[in-house]
Each structure stands twice: as C-alpha cells, then as structure tokens.
C-alpha cells in the first residue's frame, strides 16, 4: 500500500527533517529502526525513514516514509506499508508503482 500526502505545520519550521518525520509520521503501533537514507521524488530531495508497524489485523508490516521538504512548513510524504510476505512479482509491481509517483510544486 502506498499513501501520498502533503502536510503543513508551522510548529516544525527550522526543525531537522528527522524530528518532523518522527512527530508527523509516527503512529502508536510504529517502531522506527533508526535507518534512513537520502531520497528524491521528481528531483526534490528529502529523506526516507524506515520502521515497522503492526496493522489492525496483527500483521507486521515494513514501513518506508519519504519526507520531501517543499517549503519551510510544507512536506510531501510517500509512505509505503509493505507486507513481509510479498513474492517477487508483487515486490516488482510495488517498485514500479512507486517509480511512477511524481511531484509538481510551484513556488
């Protein structure tokens, strides 16, 4: 599953992107791994943070959350909730869908 969203919150102006991700992206049933890497969506740079969470059915999911700063108080996010039981074809389909995500932002 892939969620795309825009978030605006002036409380996080000037805060490190990791603080924004932990505050805005965190869910009660999510555990961040501490792992992160640089990422881009349509040439806009940001960071991807990794976590695990258990959904309401008790299934453990891997979580990848990309946070892309667009303005001092505006972030685009791409969150992937990934079943640990995906087969190779399903993983390839997910990767292809995510590659098709684009971002247009006028300043």
pTM over 0.85: no
Q: Are 68 and 44 in contact (CB under 8 A)?
A: yes
The length of the chain, given as a count of residues: 107
Task: Tokens 């685009």: give the residue.
Answer: 76
44: which 2 tokens? 């806009």
pLDDT at 67: 92
* Residue 34 CB partners (closer than 8 Å, separation 6+): none
pLDDT at 107: 56
For the chain, 107 residues long, give each residue's pLDDT as a single digit of tens: 888 888 898 999 999 988 888 887 777 788 888 899 999 988 899 999 999 998 888 889 999 999 999 999 999 999 998 988 888 888 888 888 888 788 776 55
- Secondary structure class of 52 (helix, strand, coil): strand
pLDDT at 105: 65
pLDDT at 73: 92
83: which 2 tokens? 């079943």
What is the number of other CB atoms lying within 10 angstroms of the CB of residue 76? Answer: 20
Distance CA(81)–CA(52), nearest Å, equals 9
**Which domains does the chain possess?**
2-99 (3.40.1000.10)
């Amino acid at each position: 599953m892939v969620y795309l969203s825009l978030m605006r919150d002036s409380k996080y102006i000037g805060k490190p992107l990791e603080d924004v991700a932990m505050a805005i992206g965190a869910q009660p049933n999510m555990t961040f791994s501490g792992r992160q890497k640089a990422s881009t969506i349509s040439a806009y740079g940001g960071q991807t943070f990794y976590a695990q969470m258990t959904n309401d059915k008790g299934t453990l999911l891997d979580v990848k959350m990309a946070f892309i700063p667009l303005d001092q108080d505006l972030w685009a996010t791409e969150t992937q909730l990934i079943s640990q039981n995906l087969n190779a074809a399903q993983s390839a389909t997910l990767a292809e869908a995510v590659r098709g995500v684009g971002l247009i932002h006028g300043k």
